[in-house]
Amino acid sequence: MEKPITRIAVLKNPVQNYPWGSKSFIPQLLGNPFPAETPQAELWMGVHPNGPSMVSGAGTWMPLQDMIENDPEGVLGTAVAKKFSNALPFLFKILAADRPLSVQAHPNRTQAREGFARENALHVPLTSAQRGYKDENHKPEILCALRPFWLLKGFRKISEILDFMDYAGIPALGAPLRKGPGEEGLRAFFSTLMTMGKDEQQRTVREAVKAAQSRSQADSALDWVSKLDQIFPGDIGVLAPLFLNVLCLEPGESVFLRAGELHAYLEGAGVELMANSDNVLRGGLTSKHVDIPELLRIVNFTSEQSRVLRPEPQENGEVLYVTPAEEFALSVISLNGHSSFKSSQNRSVEMVICVEGKGRITDLGRGDQLLFERGTAMIIPADVQQYEIQGKTMIYKAATPF
């Protein structure tokens, strides 16, 4: 019997019910009743052990990981299987946030290996809330907005931080930056902020919130200080919009997050694609474990204006978000009902999810066809030599650079 993994197949994916999620966006996408009883924050498509996908085949559902292990080259492609040790190198997500996520950063690959080994040696269970490292991998990621998406990303220019410290009535916090307006000064500023006593943190936040409320119409950063304090009163992360860049992505715009880049997602919905990892070091706006010494060790203390990524047209009609990631590439296929999309014949494993409309995908080698609609996710193994998509639809595609 032919292995089902060599054919285009529908995925069944887990939903992560985190408190900051939306009760409507993911249920609507999947065609389920809404509002849901509990917030639905992330739809995971991949093989990460914290949320593995199932794949249809031979009349049943099988773990995607098992199918890859049965035929890694057939699913992943020879080059990808060799480069990534027969493992799917990316994790594909739909993310929907009605409340802010934590201020956080992700380690590079070396830091992840060291941190994972250290916590293993301390016998911290993988399921422990005190765990910062869930695996040995780094976690570069791209987020593309499906609806307006507010986020914090990377340290502001130092001159901007100093101005905001003045606006917020806490100019003394800027002293390390005036003394050394470079990476060391930024490190000293952030370290002072994160390590001050709880009483002092809360007093500082109160002063900043009072000043921000009187001027919240002047700048979105000041407005977000007030909003964050309503959700996380007194949390030091409330000040994050004053020293991190505040961005609002319009649908179709994206950002790429490198290792060590401090960030926080505030509100919105989007497609997220990352290396297959769940390593997070948090620093505020959360009730979860916060490890300040480890966060200070991995954060990249550079200041710059954050760049918004827009897709670049490709020869076959799709548009591609260009990033330096070696594990993943995100693209979009949009069809108006009168055109079609034909894939390249030189390709590796791909995952797709329909976010608008409906259509049909055809394996041009075998002639197999699958109908899909909004919310349908599929895996297209490397063994599928070429495929065609028809319909009136918008599809996000995750792949590994070939």
Residues with catalytic roles: 282
Is cis: bond before 72, omega within 30 of 0?
no
CA dist list (Å): 375 to 32, 76, 112, 123, 394: 10, 23, 33, 40, 11
Q: Which of 189, 185, 266 is nearest to 225 (CA)?
A: 266
Q: How far is CA 301 from the centre of its chain?
A: 21
CB-CB contact of 39 with 20 (8 Å): yes
Q: Which residues pair with 357 in a beta bridge?
A: 393
CB-CB contact of 322 with 352 (8 Å): no
Buried residues in 120-141 as b, exposed as e (16+ CB within 10 A): eeeeeeeeeeebbbbbbbbbbb
Tokens of 136: 């040995």
In 173-253, the DSSP E strands lie at: 244-249
CB-CB contact of 341 with 372 (8 Å): no
Q: Which residues contact 86 (CB under 8 A, 6 or more apart)?
A: 68, 69, 72, 76
Beta-carbon-side half-sphere exposure of residue 349 (alpha carbons within 13 Å):
32
Q: Which of 164, 156, 323, 149 is nearest to 247 (CA)?
A: 149
Q: Report how far residue 16's alpha carbon sits from residue 9's, in angstroms, rounded to the nearest whole number.
A: 22
CB-CB contact of 202 with 250 (8 Å): no
Q: Which helix (H) or strand (E) holds 355?
A: strand 350-363
Q: Report how far residue 165's alpha carbon sits from residue 184's, in angstroms, rounded to the nearest whole number.
A: 18
CB-CB contact of 402 with 346 (8 Å): yes
Cα angle for residues 302, 250, 106 (degrees, 5° grid): 35
